[in-house]
Structures are given as C-alpha cells and as structure tokens.
Structure 1
Amino acid sequence: MDNQVWVEVSVVVSPESAESVSELFSRYTDSVVVEQGVEFRGPDDRGTPYGPCRVCAFLDLDDRLETTKRKISEGLWYLSRIRSDIPEPTFRTIEDQNWMESWKQFYHPVFVGEKIQVLPAWIENQHPEKLAIRIEPTMAFGTGTHPTTQLSLMLTELYVRPGEPFIDVGSGSGILSIAAILLGAREALGIDIDEESMRSGRENAERNGVADRITFTRRTIPELMADGEALNEAPVVIANILTPILEALFDVGMADLVAPGGVLLLSGILTDQDERIRRAAEGRGLTFEKRLLIEDWAGYAFRKAR
C-alpha cells in the first residue's frame, strides 16, 4: 500500500494568539497540534508553559488542498490585522512512514558501568560477557540512552547486593528493576502512576525473563507504607525523576522506604540543583555518600542511619 502524504501548515505565535490560530486551522482539519516549552520554577512547580507556541495542522493531499491553503492564508492575514504577531504560514509535505521500523536505526547497544549493556530488543547480543537488558523503546521513560538513566544504572550496579530486595520509584520502562534482578537482587518493586509505564515495565520484565521477581504497582508511597503485606522497605531504593518531583516524593515518605543502613539513589537532577537535593535528603535524616556526573546531570547516593 502506498504511503499516505500530508501537508503540514504551521505558524509560531504568542500564547495569546494560539487559540485563535487553532480555531482557524480546525475549520479545515481535525489534526491540530499546539506545542510550547515547559520550565520548572520552584520545588512545587509541576511544569509551567513558557515562550511562543508552534501551532500546526495536517491537511489531506487531495483536490481541495490548494483551496484550503488559500483559505488558511487568507484567514491568517485577517487575524494579523488584529494580532500583530501572526506571520505568514509555512507549508511542507510530510510522507507517512512505518515509524515502528524506521526509528529503530537510531537505537544501538549502550554500555554502562562495568557490567551492564542495554540492548534494543531486536539487536543480537554481541557481548555475552555483559549483563544484557533488553528494552523495547515505548512512551515509558528509560531506554538507556539518556544520562539520567545511565547514572541510575551505574548507581544500581554499585549498590545492589545479591539476595536483597530493591524498590524503584518512578519505574517507567522497568529498566532499573530489571537491572537490579540481573545483578542479583532477590525481588524488585516498581512504582509508577502511569498506566503506560505499568504495561511497558511488565512487557520488558517478560522480555528479560525476570517477570516472576518484579512487581509493578500504581499504589502511592503512603498506601505502600500502610500495607503490612507489601514490599515497603529495601536496602536500596532508587528514583530517577526530575528534582521538583523528587522533593515532593520526600514530602510523602520516600525516605521511609529505605531500610536502616540502606541507601537512597537519586537521578534526574541537574548539576545546578545540587544544594536543593542535598537539603531535601538531609532534611529526612539521610547522609550524602556519593555523586556521579554525566554532562549536566548528577546522580546521588544518600545513606540512612542504622
């Protein structure tokens, strides 16, 4: 079957103008997207939109295309009489692809620490001397390519001991829980609020033959702490999440998951957020032990008193 072809129309405008442009585009297609940057402005900020918006729409390549393009251009011209920031539109042709296959060319084995390699699921293992974690990249975070995931894997390799349990807060693709089991952990618990992460984690655990030793749950930390039957304490607890969320997790008891004498491993932290994360950890009775760096990202180990 021939690949479908669309024409993308886009403009970059202020947030105030984005709604008007979106309404105009929606007269001609249901495929309208608004993109805008996000920044974190404080420990309680979950993300604040900032900067200009890119509004784009996708038009069918059919016999009405030229008429539609003209009407959109005219509509934007009239809007520009009211709002001065509205430019002329940009049109470009986009050919549909089999993305499930085409993006695979960008994934390659990633070697982390001394023992670990992260393999895309479809690539043959050329280094059997390494522990191979096979991951199918999906929407869930954690494919091994990002510095924060690599820092987390390095810390996991350093601190996991055979026969001990492991807790992974914000488990995403399940890569850290899988690594812990392959490194000898007795069992692992992956915690995440996202249903896609639950599905991805379970599938990746099956793919690596460790599904019977990893439990994935959407329960909150307070819910786990209140359940005397669940795994709610471990000598190694890890969280690879952005700093504002790590600070919020401290507030709901993340440090309580760490067994006496155990370690809390943290990643997802920019190097200029060092003081913030140390203050949050030390405020819960944890002591700084180790810091690893890759580019602008840092990973930490904090020790809990016995």
Structure 2
Amino acid sequence: MSFIELKIQVNKTQAEALDELLMEFGSLAVTLEDAEDQPILEPGPGETPLWQQIVLTALFDSDIDREATLAAIQADEAWPAGAHARFQAVPDQDWVRAWMDRFQPMPFGTKLWVCPSWRPIPAEAKVPLLLDPGLAFGTGTHSTTRLCLEWLDSADLSGKHVLDFGCGSGILAIAAGKLGAAKLTALDNDPQALIATRENAERNGIAADQIDIQLPPLAEGFHCDVILANILAEPLRQLAPLFATVLKPGGALVLSGLLAEQADELLARYQPWFDSLAVSQHEDWIRIDGKRNFTDVT
C-alpha cells in the first residue's frame, strides 16, 4: 500500500481543530512536530503542552481524489485562513525494515555496546547489552541515556549495589549488572516500565535474584552504593534529601535528564550532601555526578 501526506504549519490554537478535521476527511494518522525548535520542559500533571508553531502532517491512502479532498478540507471553517498545503507522495518502502534499519549497534565508552536483537554483535563489543526499542524510554539514542552509559562504562561497579531510579526500559540497571554490579534495584512508577525492565533483564542474562524490580517507594532502611537517576530536573530537585539518605557515604551519584541551563540550580541543591560534583555535556543535555560526603546535614 502506498500513501500521500499533507503538511501544514499552524499555531498551537489551531492544531486541535485541524487535527479533528483531517481525521474526519479520512486521514489515517496525524502527527504534530515542532516547527521552530522550541523546547517543552516538564509539563505539569494533566497538561498536554504544544509548541507555539507546529508542523501538522496527515497521512492518506494514495487513491483518494486529492483535489476534491483538499478543496473540501480548505472550505471548512477549521482550516486556518491563509494557510497553504498540498499533497505529496510518500515513497513506498518496507516500513518495518526501514524502522529496523534506524537502529544500529552503538558503543558507549570502551567496553559497553547497546545492540538491537536483529543485528550481529560487533566483535569489539566486550560488554554487549541486547535492547530493542519498545514502549519504555531508554535505548541509548538520547543524549541523557548516553551520558549515563558512558559513566557506567568507566566506573568500577564490582560488588556494588546499584539503584536505577526511574528505570524505564531498565537499560542503566542492566548495563550496571553486565559491568559487574552485584545487586540491582530498578524502580519506576510506571508498571509498563517494570514489565520492560524484567523482559530486558532476562534477555541479557541478569538473574532474577540479582535484580529487584519494583514500584516506589523504597523500603525503609534501604541503602545502596550507586544511584542512577535519568529523569527530569524538578523530580531530581525534590529527591535530593532521599538520595542523600539512601546512598552510603562515599557512594556515587549520577543524575541526568537535565538541560545545560538547569545545572547551576541542581548543583546548589545537591551541594550540602555531595562532594566532587561535576558536569558533563552532550549536545544540549548534561549529566551531574558526584560522591556522597561523610557529613550528615539536616
């Protein structure tokens, strides 16, 4: 089956009505993309934020009457005044194969590689992590995940208990296990993430008694040697006292999910409990890592 698509740039106030209109006229799918590289950070509970300017793309079967369909859509009151659009062909291809071809084995440091299951494992991959794109966030393609994996690749995790807080796909916990960690705790408030983590742990040979996969909260008296938290700035700000409580003195802290401009606030927030705080950056994203100090601060 071949397809055609209709693209139009609109502002955020026009997007919802136009989305509904296109679906009424037989669109198979409508996608919204940022038209101006405007970041949207940390929406509040229940919010569905949109960019100010949006490129809206509607996909149609190729056998529709293009002129008649476009004329009817443009005649509707939901069509933005002065907007221009035209149908264009979408190249026919094997969509499954095209999607799979996007994902190649990727190195992170000197040992660790993330490899999709349908690709051969490279000979230089000393520690291959088998992970396929799925429902839960985290396959190594995003800068924040990359920064955490590179830290793990260079760390001495032998015998350590590692907490992956907000585990998503489980990529960080599983990587830590394959790099020598003795005990893993993977925590997430999304049950789907826990399912993904469990499946990925099994695929990578992580024993069931090595990894504890759970919903929050952490058990009373929980302590660990390493905390990995690749989430968002506001949760990380709120979690600082908890992380200071559960991380053993001298333990390693790794925070990501942060934009560069958020570094100063997070550094100040964690300063009372953590020493040797350092910032590493990839593209617009950063990682903060440091050590739990030996002073109790209330």
TM-score, normalised relative to structure 1: 0.80
User: Does structure 1 residue 224 correspond to structure 2 residue 246?
Assistant: no
Aligned-pair distance for 1:274?
A: 2.0
Q: How does 1:63-78 map to 2 (within 5 A)?
A: 66-75=67-76
Aligned-pair distance for 1:210?
A: 0.8
Question: 2:130 aligns to what SS in structure 1?
Answer: strand
Structure 1 gap ranges (5+): none
In structure 2, distance between residues paired with 1:47 and 1:160? 41
Q: Are the equivalent residues in 2 in contact too, given 1:39–1:48 (CA < 8 A)?
A: no
Aligned to 2:236: 246
User: Does structure 1 residue 167 correspond to structure 2 residue 148?
Assistant: no
Question: 2:25 aligns to what SS in structure 1?
Answer: coil
Aligned to 1:109: 105
CA, structure 1 residues 13+293, in 2 after alignment: closer, same or farther (shift >3 Å)? closer
Aligned-pair distance for 1:129?
A: 6.3
How big is each residue's C-alpha offset from its partner over 1:38-69, in whole Å with a ceiling of 9 and x where there is no partner?
A: 63568979885331133333333345554323
In structure 1, distance between residues paired with 2:42 and 2:200? 34
Equivalent pairs: percent with the same residue? 30
Return 94-103 or 189-198, whichever deviates more: 94-103
Aligned to 2:225: 235
Q: Are the equivalent residues in 2 in contact too, given 1:73–1:88 (CA < 8 A)?
A: no
Letter in 2 for 1:17: Q
Q: 2:274 aligns with which of 259, 268, 286?
A: 286
How big is each residue's C-alpha offset from its partner over 1:113-165, in whole Å with a ceiling of 9 and x where there is no partner?
A: 23212222222223266111111122322222333222212222344432221
Aligned to 1:186: 182
Question: 1:50 aligns to what SS in structure 2?
Answer: coil
Which has more helix, going by share of residues? 1
Question: 2:50 aligns to what SS in structure 1?
Answer: strand
In structure 2, distance between residues paired with 1:110 and 1:56? 31
In structure 1, distance between residues paired with 2:278 and 2:270? 13
Structure 2 gap ranges (5+): none
In structure 1, distance between residues paired with 2:239 and 2:224? 16
Letter in 1 for 2:68: T
CA, structure 1 residues 177+16, in 2 after alignment: closer, same or farther (shift >3 Å)? same
Q: For this pair of structures, how many residues does the alignment match?
A: 289
In structure 2, distance between residues paired with 1:214 and 1:143? 19
Return 161-170 or 242-251, whichever deviates more: 242-251
In structure 1, distance between residues paired with 2:161 and 2:96? 35
Aligned to 2:60: 59
Aligned to 1:10: 7
User: Does structure 1 residue 207 correspond to structure 2 residue 203?
Assistant: yes
CA, structure 1 residues 109+23, in 2 after alignment: closer, same or farther (shift >3 Å)? closer
Question: 1:156 aligns to what SS in structure 2?
Answer: helix
Question: 1:49 aligns to what SS in structure 2?
Answer: coil
In structure 2, distance between residues paired with 1:134 and 1:63? 42
Return 113-122 or 45-54, whichever deviates more: 45-54
Letter in 2 for 1:18: A
CA, structure 1 residues 281+11, in 2 after alignment: closer, same or farther (shift >3 Å)? same
Q: 2:120 aligns with which of 118, 121, 124?
A: 124
TM-score, normalised relative to structure 2: 0.82
- What is the root-mean-square deviation in Å for CA atoms of aligned residues? 3.0
In structure 2, distance between residues paired with 1:47 and 1:286? 35
